[in-house]
Chain A
Amino acid sequence: MAGTDHPFPENAENDPRERELAERGRELVATAVADTSAPLALRERLERQRERAHPPARRRWLGLAGSFVAVAAAAVAALVINLGGASSPSVLATVELAAPGPTLPAPKHDMKNEALLQTSIEGLPFPDWNQRFQWKAVGLRADEIEGRHSKTVYYDSPKGTRAAYTILGGSRIEPPQGARKVPVRGQTYYVTNLDGNRVVVWYRDGHTCVMSAPAKVSEEKLLDLAAWDDGGNVPF
């Protein structure tokens, strides 16, 4: 591991002051490194850059706006999911809504409840997965679709894989046709694939939640995230 294989050169013990400074310096750098991550705008620019250079591989770059739009659009014919009537948006539309990526900074951690972020829709808060899963909230967007409000929080895994978690305001909409039902702790989750992305739909307090992530994120992991209630601290 970095910084641990030979912490001091052989003659370091001759000067305790230098040794103390070196240790202090190591700690300072470690703290700065832990506090710093690449800005979202840079990540998005790099992704566009990479897609321009290697378009055939675009679907393998996950969680990124352009890919989501393309994938979702290509899957329209295969996925007929708007079953909620004329005034209800579809799950697909909800996924598409999240495609352009975040427009706002990540919501802050809720100091009163470690399991939550400081953002909600119609009183229903988003979970904070950082402490439990090391999936960090990295951005937010708010939209309106067919007269309903929606909010999407974007989470990045430790490896930089992104998941978009949208909660739709108003009453619940139907799950996608053909989606597989997976019961987890008494709740039903609907899992389907949109080409290269995995989508999970479930309900919290009468609201529809839609999470989409690259297919390389396992179904188990997505369900683990979606179903996490931290012993009741995340309201369902």
Chain B
Amino acid sequence: MSADHATPADRSASYAGAHVTSDARVLDPAGLGDHVDRLYRAAWALCGSREDAEDLVQDTFARVLAKPRLLRNDDDLGYLLRVLRNTFVSRHRASTRRPATTAMPEQFEAVDHSVASRPEAAVSAREVFTHISALPEVFRDALVAVDVVGLSYAEAARALGTREATITSRLYRARAQVARGMEPHREGVM
């Protein structure tokens, strides 16, 4: 059977090389496109910058595509979120070892065509993602997993290696902190 006509299962098996057990499967690269929006939002919420978010998603895809990925208990999205987060942490560590560069002023950010027809939405989304990125790491991760990516509490707990109750508590505090962070600005413009 040619690769062009292979079913996803066939391709998965060939990516794995051999020995894919019944409780494991190989991530199908053809399905990655379905998750771009969610990963981009998650990346923006982690980085606080659209440009960095684009780079982070690209790096994540490069990692995932570099070799076959065997998934045991994860759904695709939970797995991809973990890779995204690990890539973010690696990049962050690397950047702290490099000399600091001057950040591009916020007003010179490239136009985001995905919300270009609604400038107020662009501003609001940018503010929200900036506040999320500034949260303490454990709160930020819980909020990104559940509210930004859309995982269930159980999936988020699995992806982050913690308990559901911990996710609940962190998420609650993260949401409150985001709202609190947005308050001064909102009061100023009302």
Contacts and interface: CB of A to CB of B under 8 A. Distances in A.
Given A28-B182, A39-B113, A108-B117, A33 B36 contact: no
B30 A61 contact: yes
Contacts, number: 162
Contacts of B154: 5
Nearest to B65: A53
Contacts of B40: 36-39, 42
The B interface, classified by DSSP as helix, strand, loop or mixed, is: helix
Interface string B1-18: 011101000010000000
B151 interface: yes
A25 B118 CA distance: 21
A56 B180 CA distance: 50
A25 B143 CA distance: 10
A9 B41 CA distance: 26
B140 to A, nearest CB: 11
Nearest to A26: B175
A132 interface: no
A50 B29 contact: yes
A36 B125 contact: yes
Interface string A40-61: 1011011101100110110111
Interface size on B, as a range, is 35 or more
A35 interface: yes
Nearest to A35: B121
A2 B151 contact: yes
A89 B33 CA distance: 32
Residue among B6, B50, B178 with the highest chain A CB neighbour number at 10 A = B178
Interface of A: 1-3, 5-9, 12, 18, 21-26, 28-33, 35-40, 42-43, 45-47, 49-50, 53-54, 56-57, 59-61, 105-106, 108-109, 159-160
Interface of B: 2-4, 6, 11, 29-30, 32-34, 36-37, 39-41, 44, 50, 54, 57-58, 61-62, 65-66, 112-118, 121-122, 124-125, 128-129, 132, 143, 146-154, 164-165, 168-169, 171-180, 182
Given A28-B128, A42-B36, 13 more contacts: A2-B152, A5-B153, A7-B172, A12-B172, A21-B176, A22-B176, A22-B179, A25-B178, A29-B178, A32-B128, A33-B41, A38-B40, A105-B116
